[in-house]
Amino acid sequence: MKSIGQAVIAGLGIALPPGAAQEELWEGFFSQHYTGGRRGLAQRIFANSGVRTRQAAVSPLLEDVSGWSTERRMRRYQVEAMPLAKEAVGRALTEAGVAADELGLLAVCSCTGYATPGLDILLARDMGMAPSLQRLFVGHMGCYAALPGLGTAADFVAARGRPALLLCAELTSLHIQPADPRADIQQIVSHALFSDAAAAVVLTPQSRPGGYVVSDVTALTDTTTAGHMTWEVTDLGFRMGLSPQVPDVLSIHVRAMVDDLLTRNGLTVADVDDWAVHPGGPKILDVVQRQLGLPDEAMAASREVLAAYGNCSSPTVLLVLDALRRRPRPPGRVVMLAFGPGLTLYGVLLETT
């Protein structure tokens, strides 16, 4: 085995299905989806979600999937996810200057669709990846999956000295739940926030201008709160459970986790140039900002991604990173943070080459 080296983010590609304004989604679909006493509550939640526009591969303005079986939703997932995945992967490979057959590892994260052969196999076939390619599929980790996926791909690159690719692809639009006049708040919040996207990252062992080295990865899971965030497979798609106590749990743990990540690298919060925080919702971002003592500008990219794209589950934190690196003066040191079922917190330290 080769000696441990570095892993550098050399390319990042984003692919988005058609978008719609939050107000349009409310007026055109969800205002009729929620009736009775829940309609007024749902309208307020949609208005206060922090989301202006979001994307849907299967738009409720065109198709109502809420009564579809899980089987029908999974068949549609494969149809819709592949073009988005190919677009994101192609863009990432082009930016990195890496050919598909040079990849040593393809890791795919998705919690919104399952099939075999899956995206990993079909992408490898259709994009000309090598038969010797190692593949990894990460399922049902939810919103934080990009960061353990990034850590695993980085470990492969550092240990093997070969390029790797991480793809996060989510179609949350396939999991709209049936209309229910007694719908709980958790379902309303889910319907108000979630969106579709694909994001791909190429990592290489070689430094390059503007590239980010994956310097360290950390995680913290509070299993006493495992029921606070759930994603259950039902006969009518996957159903989100989202406790209002999630921000409270984050407020307990996020500062200690970040301090541990930075301290072991000889850094403090003040040494971080910018932050890519998964925008699970406005309250999540408020808690992170308060607990870390960050100025408004440190959260600007995360809030703008939430407003422009919604919560796309696993690709979202990569959308925030992409926004940061496209600034006229990209930050030199970035901390990525994401949260999900477990209740789990993940952090990644990136530093420019």
CATH number at residue 38: 3.40.47.10
199 and 268 share a domain?
A: no
**60 & 178 share domain:** yes
pLDDT of residue 1: 40
Distances (CA, A) of 107 to 169, 197, 260, 315: 11, 16, 27, 13
* Structure tokens given for 26: 């409310």
Amino acid letter for position 251: S
Q: Are 63 and 170 members of one domain?
A: yes
- 30 & 149 share domain: yes
> Using an 8 Å Cβ cutoff, are 108 and 119 in contact?
yes
Residue 228, domain extent: 212-352
Last residue of a domain, one of 161, 177, 204: 204
- Cβ(18)–Cβ(56) below 8 Å: yes
Q: What is the pLDDT of residue 38?
A: 85
| Residue 143 falls in the annotated catalytic set | yes
Looking at the domain assignment, is residue 180 inside a domain?
Answer: yes
Which residues, given as ranges, of the chain have pLDDT below 50? 1-3
Q: How many domains does the chain have?
A: 2
Does residue 128 sit within a domain? yes
Residues 189 and 235 in one domain: no
Same domain, 173 and 297: no
Residue 71 lies in a domain: yes
Q: Are residues 198 and 235 in the same domain?
A: no
Q: What is the pLDDT of residue 148?
A: 98
Domain termination site, one of 204, 222, 256: 204
Q: Cα–Cα–Cα angle for 103, 119, 69, nearest 5°?
A: 170
Same domain, 198 and 221: no
pLDDT value of position 2: 46
d(CA 73, CA 81): 12
Do 154 and 75 reside in the same domain of the chain? yes
Statement to judge: residues 173 and 216 lie in one domain: no
Secondary structure E strands in the chain: 8-15, 19-21, 53-55, 105-110, 134-139, 164-171, 196-204, 212-221, 229-234, 237-242, 274-277, 333-340, 344-352
In a domain, 298, yes or no: yes
Q: In terms of C-beta density within 10 A (0-12 exposed, 13-18 middle, 19 or more buried), how is residue 68 classed?
A: buried
Q: Which of 204, 239, 274 is the last residue of a domain?
A: 204
Q: Which of 109, 143, 168, 312 is catalytic?
A: 143
179 and 200 co-located in one domain = yes
Say if 59 falls within a structural domain.
yes
- Whether residue 2 is contained in a domain is answered as no
pLDDT in tens, 22-65: 999 999 999 999 987 789 999 999 999 999 999 999 999 999 99
Q: So what's the pLDDT on residue 207?
A: 87
Q: Does any domain span residue 284?
A: yes
How high is the pLDDT of residue 183?
72
100 within domain boundaries: yes
Q: Are residues 198 and 223 in the same domain?
A: no
